[in-house]
Structure 1
Amino acid sequence: MIPCSNNSAACIRTDSRRSRPAAVSPPPSAYLTHHGIQPPRRTRQEFQEGSPQRAEVSITGYRAVVDPAALGLHVHAVIRLRTTHAQLSRALDLASRTPEIASTLRVTGEDCLILDVYCPQAGRLEEVVDALARYGPVTTSLVLRAYPPKPLTDAGGNAGTRRGHLDRAR
């Protein structure tokens, strides 16, 4: 983490657990530049004021990726819930209040919600599944391995290239 000036509001947030200021890491490009490494040109341009790409890029934030196993969460599952429109808001409320549910997707098709769940043991997963089942049928799949996510790209500019690539792979 890059040290921040105590007077810089942009570099300080309140740590709610300790009720005192805590430093926040700056964007990766600033970190690289601070340590004498030039970030890729495109990244550098996206963060420069007035850059043409800046208006087109929508970076919503940065996040730390924590290994769930390091937190004792050894059971990873994906739960699909099929519910009624009348029960949907209650199911979403339960999902938001359940700490083991890391993400919730509302989807089309037979299922209504897809939930990404991390639990310390199978018994806790059973409790989460049972609680969700009050709102409709659930299907639970254990995750054997999670692969790294791919970065988002400009699908519009590369659609033709990708289609050609996929055609050649057949």
Structure 2
Amino acid sequence: MQLAERLARSRRAILLLSLSLLSLDQASKWWVVTYLDGRPPIAVIGDLLRFNHTTNSGAAFNIGSNFTIFLTVFALIVTTGLIIFARKVADLRWAIGFGVLLGGVLGNLTDRIFREPQFLHGHVVDFIQLPNWPIFNVADIAITCSGFWIAYLLLRDIKPFATFGDDDE
């Protein structure tokens, strides 16, 4: 497959995955805010899985809860970097990793930009509760899964970008 075709295929995959995950994340958060706000948690699978609406001004495990603006700016920088590098990804496996990561980062960034208490200081909506674990959301799942996937690709020494002479495969 020609390099131009591989780049186009990767870009389509990144766009499709990131927009799908962003949409799924925001739709799930809309549902949670609409139907669970102020209500007791819903047991989905007994005590193993519950939907419990909460918000988080910090990062994972509520670390940095006093640094919401820093986390927002950091997420904007990560998003910009992902978009720049994603345009050059020629390997579909890497495109999957970038697309899932970008969708997750955009999901939480959307909350930080537009949700209360104010613009760029918004709190992230979390709702998936497991025993003995912080409450999280769909975007967090996407970020975590993409991290494992990208680590796997790195360990396998799979290159994300095309190099000289990669036109034919």
TM over 0.5: no
Structure 1 or 2, whichever has the larger Rg, is: 1
TM-score category (smaller protein): under 0.3
Higher strand share: 1
* TM-score for both structures, normalised by structure 1: 0.20
